[in-house]
Amino acid sequence: MRLTLRQLEVFEAVAHHLSYSRASETLHLTQPAVSIQIKQLEEAIGIPLFEQLGKKIYLTEAGQELRRYSRNIVQQLEEAESVFEEMKGMRRGKLAISVASTAGYFMPFLLAQFSKRFPEVAITLNVSNREVLLQELAQNSMDFAIMGRPPDGLGLDFTSFLENPLVVIAPPDHSLVTEHGIPLTRIQQETFIARELGSGTRSATERFFAEKGIKLTTGTEMSKNESIKQAVQAGMGVSVLSLNTVMLELEAKRLAVLDVESFPIQRHWYLVHRSKKRLPGVALAFKEFILNEAAALLESEAGYVQPARP
């Protein structure tokens, strides 16, 4: 039995995404090429590594066992490549970045600015909720995460670089739009549309209202900010979202920010990575770019300036 490093790299990508198409995008290969590598690997081992149930694939017991080794092997190879790139002073390489879903509204703009300076850096961007990001950090499966402040004691290095105010949004014809200093008890009377469990926005919102002794009436849970915005516009209720996510709707007067006491909830975005992770040259360049320039770039970009209160 002879296994190749390429086979293990492809296997690790498929095992991570549980998707041949996602793995092919990550590896910049065609889907048939990925399938061939997995087939050859299974033939070399003599045991199926994946099983398909409906439209989804799952790791078999043998696949789970192999992944214990493949994850470490692939990470060690990537670290070795990073060391050699750093030694040669190369401005090319790979960056794997995972961001909280709300950060997905501004990170493409920042990545575009970074890519103009480092056009030979291949960037993979994954969008997940806070719970998934913490799992990925624990597995060391990305270079950086962009998220709210992570818990202490997880062996993470994190630095804030951008404000992330949470605001109460409502349809523009809502009766409270013209009010000022709206009491929290008045918001308690509204039907509340919440993000899903595991979302950083939801955790921060629930913690804020609990500290104030306020229990919200949750009418609907939704996993996408876009769905929540559409629901609020349709008059299904009010919600709390990051100001970053609603700038276009505010400008178009499809949504309104309510002037609620103790709001906005002041939060920040953090650049996060494993404390002991060796950062190659391109990763260090990205870290410097985000920490030193991201806020100014976004403030100068139309659509990211905080609107005045009505």
Residue 190, CA distances (Å) to 75, 216, 235, 239, 263 in order: 49, 8, 11, 9, 16
Residue 93, strand partner residues: 121
CA distance 273 to 154: 11
Give the type of residue at 80.
A
Task: Please report the pLDDT score of residue 104 as a whole number.
Answer: 87
pLDDT grade, residue 277 (50/70/90)?
Answer: confident
CA distance 109 to 303: 12
pTM: predicted TM-score of the whole model, two decimal places: 0.66
Does 91 have pLDDT greater than 80?
A: no
Instruction: For the chain, list the domains and their CATH numbers.
Output: 1-71 (1.10.10.10), 90-162+268-310 (3.40.190.10), 166-266 (3.40.190.10)
Q: Which residue has the higher pLDDT, 213 or 79?
A: 213
Task: Please report the pLDDT score of residue 178 as a whole number.
Answer: 94
**How confident is the model over 47-60, as pLDDT tens digits?**
999 999 988 999 99
- Mean of the pLDDT values across residues 43-48? 93
Residue 58, both tokens: 């799952």
Task: Please report the pLDDT score of residue 40 as a whole number.
Answer: 93
Does 310 have pLDDT greater than 80?
A: no
Taking alpha carbons only, the member of 243, 241, 238, 246 closest to residue 217 is 238
Residue 310, CA distances (Å) to 16, 48, 248 in order: 47, 62, 16
CA distance 22 to 32: 12
pLDDT grade, residue 306 (50/70/90)?
Answer: very low
pLDDT grade, residue 292 (50/70/90)?
Answer: very high
Q: Which residue has the higher pLDDT, 82 or 173?
A: 173
